[in-house]
Structure formats: structure tokens, C-alpha cells
Structure 1
């Protein structure tokens, strides 16, 4: 079965993005409780590149498939690839995903991830400012404790949106307000 790449985020309305988000069927990793844990020999680099045994995974469909199995332990922060029988640790250098584009419409912000998924920021998918005021990093909660770091151009889009709204470097999406300046 061929993979259909979603259209460009700029060409979609917020309703179309919401429909694409709702149509995505993901495995129920939050319900799986495998007894066995092993090391996957996989790593997600800070630039979003996935590696297995030191070699990059070059097939986007494989990355999307593995990404659908990601779960992050809320206690120790370890990332896992989870199946009903096994969970395998995976090294994540920064964030499991990258947010590579953003669209603002009405009071909502939609993001496209490096895995061609869409996420709408809001109470269930909050934005978090980290780092320091001189070199901030913005993260978007995606699912199962995993986050996406906004790449530079997406961060700049978000900052422009914050400044355009009221000049305070904060944004509102889905009824929630998010400060874009990390706490000192």
C-alpha cells in the first residue's frame, strides 16, 4: 500500500488539518504492558534523523512506522518502541520529533512534523519553552510523553505570531496560552 504524503500545511484549513489528525489511526501503545525489555540499537539524532546500528534509516515509511510505536516513560524519561510483546529502549538526543512548519488560523496553531503528521497545539498538546532567554527552544507535546522540537524556521514563524498577536512573545491556541520565553 502506497503512502500518500499530506498536502502542504499552508494549503489546508484548520478544519482540514483537524480531519487529518482525527483520521490517523495509531497503535494503542499506552495499553500495552510488555514484560520484556531490550535495546533497539536505534537512535534519534537532534536533527530528527533516525539511526539503526549507526546507519541512517533512509526510508521515510520506516521512520513513520517506528514513530507510531514511540512511548516515553513519565517517571524516568526513557523513550521506548512498544509492541504487545516487547518494549525496546531507543536513544533520543533531544526530542523524538521535529516540528518543521506551522500555520496559524483563528485562535489555533497547527504544526507539521518531520514524520508528515499534524498536531494542533492546545491543552492536550501544549507548547513548552526551554533553554534560556538568549537561546530558547520550544517543544510541542505530541503523544505518549513524546515531544517535537520546533526547528529554527518554525520557531521564527511562532515568534512572529506571538509578536503579531500582542507583542508579548506568547501565543494562544485551542484556548490555552503559551509563553515563548523560557523561565530564567
Structure 2
């Protein structure tokens, strides 16, 4: 059995994120675990993540959670191969904190360190 089949809760989030090579993302779109409840994590409008009312100060932990975040029709969830936990997002889960021009393209850096190139797959909305 794989490591993710033996873990649950936040340990499951960590195990799922380790499946991603480098800074790539785990295949959360392929996972269909049962919903197992809500977890008291809130992403505020300013992009800061909170757990049980306290800011999550470790950037690496926020990055880890961001890699297993998925938007479903009923809201945002942290998803592992075996669990799905609903969280609260006040506005948007990620904020652009920098923009650079690369030729004719705009490349944005998010508050969790990802780079996103604006285009047909990543349309700008204001």
C-alpha cells in the first residue's frame, strides 16, 4: 500500500503534496475522496492563511496546503487521495504579488510562489 493510504488529516495533505515532483502540483483533479468535514482554515481577502483563528506563519506550510487546494462546485477543499476537507476562502485563494512582461506575455507571481502566465488558459479578470 502507498503512504497516502495510511495517512489522514493534515498528514494526508503532506503525503499527497510529496507526490508532486519539484514545484509541480499533485493530481488533485484525479482524486475523488469522500468529503470528511470542514477544517477551520480560512484564506483571508489579503491572501493570508489562518488556522483556528491564528495566522499560519510558516510559508512552507501555506505552500504545502496550496498544492492540494481544489475548487469544487460546493466550495474550496484541501484534497488528498483519501480525504476531502472544506475550507473557507473569503475572496480568491491566491493573490498576484508581482507581474513581469515576457515578450508579449504577462507573467504573474502569486503569494505562494507560483508563476502564472496570462493567456487563454489563465484569463485576467478585474
* TM bracket, shorter-chain basis: 0.7 to 0.9
- For residues 37 and 30 of structure 1, the distance between their equivalents in structure 2, rounded to whole angstroms, comes to 17
Larger radius of gyration: 1
- For residues 58 and 96 of structure 2, the distance between their equivalents in structure 1, rounded to whole angstroms, comes to 19
Greater relative CO, 1 or 2 (CA 8 Å, sep 6+): 2
Task: Say yes or no: does 1:82 pair with 2:79.
Answer: yes
Contact 1:36 1:85 in 2 (8 A): no
* Secondary structure of 1:115's aligned partner: coil
Which residue matches 1:134?
none
- For residues 37 and 91 of structure 2, the distance between their equivalents in structure 1, rounded to whole angstroms, comes to 21
User: How many residues in Structure 1 have an aligned counterpart in Structure 2?
Assistant: 105
Which residue matches 1:44?
43
- For residues 93 and 47 of structure 2, the distance between their equivalents in structure 1, rounded to whole angstroms, comes to 7
- For residues 88 and 35 of structure 2, the distance between their equivalents in structure 1, rounded to whole angstroms, comes to 18
CA RMSD, Structure 1 to Structure 2 (Å) = 1.1
Which residue matches 1:56?
55
* Secondary structure of 2:95's aligned partner: strand
- For residues 34 and 102 of structure 2, the distance between their equivalents in structure 1, rounded to whole angstroms, comes to 44
TM-score, with length taken from structure 2: 0.79
- For residues 68 and 94 of structure 2, the distance between their equivalents in structure 1, rounded to whole angstroms, comes to 13
Runs of 4+ that moved beyond 4 A: none
Contact 1:98 1:113 in 2 (8 A): yes
